[in-house]
Amino acid sequence: QVQLVESGGGSVQAGGSLRLSCERSGYTTTPYCMSWFRQAPGKGREVIASIDINDWITYADSVKGRFTISKDNTNNTLYLQMNSLKLEDTAMYYCAVGRSWRGRCGPGYDYDNWGQGTQVTVSS
């Protein structure tokens, strides 16, 4: 059974850092596309960082220069290092995985699996 489990969320003051992890299980091959999404209260879900099987990485403008996506295929884990956190980064963060190529990895890609989310709260 395919499963994605996020961890690492929490409460932090503005300017602080957090590192999110997304551990996947049940996959027989390395996924083509892995991304981090977030959804703030009252807002839609947005993709903020993506990495494909060739390590092509894209970021949303809102997090560029502050967040870093990475993966470790040996332990089947996707990471999101978040630095210089702002109040507007407060959201539920989700990882999503797509097994095969069906377009560019990132916004608009049709993901196969989602995690349950981990809450990030940034305070002043």
Q: Closest Cα partner for 35 from 48, 45, 24?
A: 48
Q: How many CA atoms lie within 13 A of 25 on its CB side?
A: 5
pLDDT of residue 53: 95
Are 103 and 109 within 8 A, CB to CB? yes
Type of residue numbered 93? Y
Successive 10-residue mean pLDDT values, the chain, 124 residues: 95 98 92 97 95 96 98 95 98 96 90 96 97
DSSP state of 87: G
What are the distances in angstroms from CA 86 to CA 72, 112, 118?
Answer: 27, 30, 17
pLDDT of residue 46: 96
pLDDT of residue 1: 85
